[in-house]
Structure 1
């Protein structure tokens, strides 16, 4: 069977590898002319890492990752610890795979290196997808029509394919944006920081953790705003992040002040869909379920999509593709939508104003941590919808 995957991000690359593993011929098309080191840190929970292990990529990713021991939730103004959860060996022993913190480019490089170069078409902009009972076709900006038995649209939060399949539907601005920066470990060695820190405050929160084996500290400072560009490369004005986080704990402000190059990006999502597929074409990853990143599951959910897509297509013939895609969506849509909703709720909880609601949240979090070793989202880490009958 022949498949075309549109978009060579984390979801698209993992889909290409999963489909090849299922025995199919795959062409990956990407509109950019080369893979670039964009983005910063990304957290990979055990559900994603079990898939990477299946693809024989976990060791390569883990070699460039940090393995945090714990996560500490703290108050914005004085850094008092609300609660603490275990990560590290406890997570790996319980969920069958580690919790890793990586540079997005390192993950992307590991995935891209596993895809045969001859199956990748860079600098190929897709301007249309159509299909009939026998095949699906991708039309490029250069006028080519590429035929396949299956088309997977992994074209991101601004997915054009989603509109071609299901009509006008724009990305939704979450009314939050984030500053992000990477600091070399040597520049923060004198600071008293938790292994992984999440600082909660009115209309804002800050996350920091290690990446690239502890060489870099990744900082993400989220704030509510009325408008912000959705861009990985838009730079903040000098000192802008300090003005947004005035009055915060001195350690947070010190981190933000030490950050050299600071980027600002608007966080966009997609509204849940009742289905992701039609005929021989399906959505995958952010094109289907882009979510706010407040449970660190966006990339993991795309990776899970790709794994399940490969599972349902093991041994499939071209005629069986539409039914197989129905099975893929049945196995993934509810879980991904649930994670979308949980991430949105987490953002609301993180950003409560000072007062009774925030105090009640802190007490609730402390009580949960007293009775549970792992964070509430660990239920997603345990979810394993992979098919045991798929090839090992």
Structure 2
């Protein structure tokens, strides 16, 4: 079976590797002239790192990562700890794989290095996807028409393929934006920061954690906004982040003050779809289910998509591709949609105003941590996606 994967982000690379692992011939098409991955930190829970182990990439990725022992939730004004959830060796023993913190580029590089160069077509812009009963086709800007038995559209949150398949449908602004920055460890060594923490406040929250084996501190400061550009490279105005988080705990402000280059980006999502596939073409990752990052599951869900796609098409003949895609979507759509919903709900909870609602939230979190140890969403980390059966 021959497949074309459109888009060489994390989802597209993982899909390429998973389909190759399933025994299929894969061509990866990417519009940029070379593999690049912008962005900063990324969290990978055990549901995703378990897949990396199956792809024989976990050791390479883990070598570049930090491994937190826990995550600390704190109040915005004085940094008092609300609760902490276990993430270290206990979580790895419980869920069968580690929780890793890493630079997005390190994950991307490990995935890209595992794809044979002969399987990649860089600098190739896709301008159309179509199909007939026997094949699916990708049309490029140069006029080529590439045929295969399957096309996987992993072309991101601004997916053109999604519109080609399902009609006009734009990304939705979440009414939140974020500042992001990376700081060398020695610039914040005097602040005694938790290794992974989320500080919760009215209309805002602040997350920081180590990447690159603890050499860099990744910072994400989320706030409400009426409008914001969706860009990984737009820079904040000098001092803007300090004004936005005025009055917060001094450690938060010192981190924001010491950050050299601060980027500002709008957080966008996509509305849930009733299906992701049509015939021999399917969506994967952000093109199917872009979500707010407030449960740190965006990349993980794309990796899980890739794993289930490979499993659903293992041993499939060209004639069996549409049925295999149906199996893939049945196994992934409801879960990914649930994570979309849960991530949005988490943002609402994080941003509650001071008062009874925030106090009740803090009490719930502390009680849950005391009883269970792990985060509420950790129940999903134990599910082995390749052992799941598709619902009928």
Distance between the aligned counterparts of 1:17 and 1:231, measured in 2? 28
How far the C-alpha of 1:379 sits from its partner, in A, is 1.6
Distance between the aligned counterparts of 2:20 and 2:36, measured in 1? 24
Distance between the aligned counterparts of 1:206 and 1:382, measured in 2? 28
Change beyond 3 A, Cα 1:179–1:270: same
Match of 2:67 in 1: 67
Tell me the SS of whatever aligns to 1:287.
Answer: helix
Task: Flag structure 1 segments of 5+ consecutive residues without an equivalent.
Answer: none
Tell me the SS of whatever aligns to 1:186.
Answer: helix
Distance between the aligned counterparts of 1:124 and 1:160, measured in 2? 14
Distance between the aligned counterparts of 2:164 and 2:236, measured in 1? 34
RMSD of aligned Cα (Å): 1.0
Q: Does 1:362 align with 2:362?
A: yes
Match of 2:223 in 1: 223
Residues paired across the two proteins, number: 389
Alignment of 1:106-255 (within 5 A): 106-255=106-255
How far the C-alpha of 1:194 sits from its partner, in A, is 1.1
Residue by residue, what CA displacement relative to the aligned partner does 1:336-369 show, whole Å, maximum 9, x if unpaired?
Answer: 0011100000000000011111111111111111
Tell me the SS of whatever aligns to 2:143.
Answer: coil
Answer whether contact 2:9 2:37 (CA < 8 A) is retained. Answer: no
Match of 2:274 in 1: 274
How far the C-alpha of 1:380 sits from its partner, in A, is 2.1
Tell me the SS of whatever aligns to 2:190.
Answer: coil
Tell me the SS of whatever aligns to 1:268.
Answer: strand
Distance between the aligned counterparts of 1:36 and 1:299, measured in 2? 16
Distance between the aligned counterparts of 2:130 and 2:385, measured in 1? 30
Point out the more displaced range, 373-382 or 306-315.
373-382
- Scaled by the length of structure 2, the TM-score of the pair is 0.98
Match of 1:290 in 2: 290
Match of 1:8 in 2: 8
Change beyond 3 A, Cα 1:37–1:385: closer
Tell me the SS of whatever aligns to 1:265.
Answer: strand
Answer whether contact 2:85 2:374 (CA < 8 A) is retained. Answer: yes
Residue by residue, what CA displacement relative to the aligned partner does 1:262-304 show, whole Å, maximum 9, x if unpaired?
Answer: 0111100000001000000000000000000000000000000
Match of 1:373 in 2: 373
Distance between the aligned counterparts of 2:115 and 2:103, measured in 1? 19
Change beyond 3 A, Cα 1:37–1:86: same
Answer whether contact 2:184 2:217 (CA < 8 A) is retained. Answer: yes
Distance between the aligned counterparts of 2:168 and 2:54, measured in 1? 37
How far the C-alpha of 1:383 sits from its partner, in A, is 2.0
Tell me the SS of whatever aligns to 2:275.
Answer: coil
Task: Flag structure 2 segments of 5+ consecutive residues without an equivalent.
Answer: none
Distance between the aligned counterparts of 2:378 and 2:388, measured in 1? 22
How far the C-alpha of 1:36 sits from its partner, in A, is 2.3
Answer whether contact 2:331 2:388 (CA < 8 A) is retained. Answer: no
Answer whether contact 1:311 1:387 (CA < 8 A) is retained. Answer: no
The structure 1 segments of at least 4 consecutive aligned residues displaced by more than 6 Å after TM superposition are: none
Match of 1:76 in 2: 76
- Scaled by the length of structure 1, the TM-score of the pair is 0.98
Distance between the aligned counterparts of 1:185 and 1:37, measured in 2? 22
Alignment of 1:66-105 (within 5 A): 66-105=66-105
Change beyond 3 A, Cα 1:311–1:66: same
Change beyond 3 A, Cα 1:8–1:37: closer
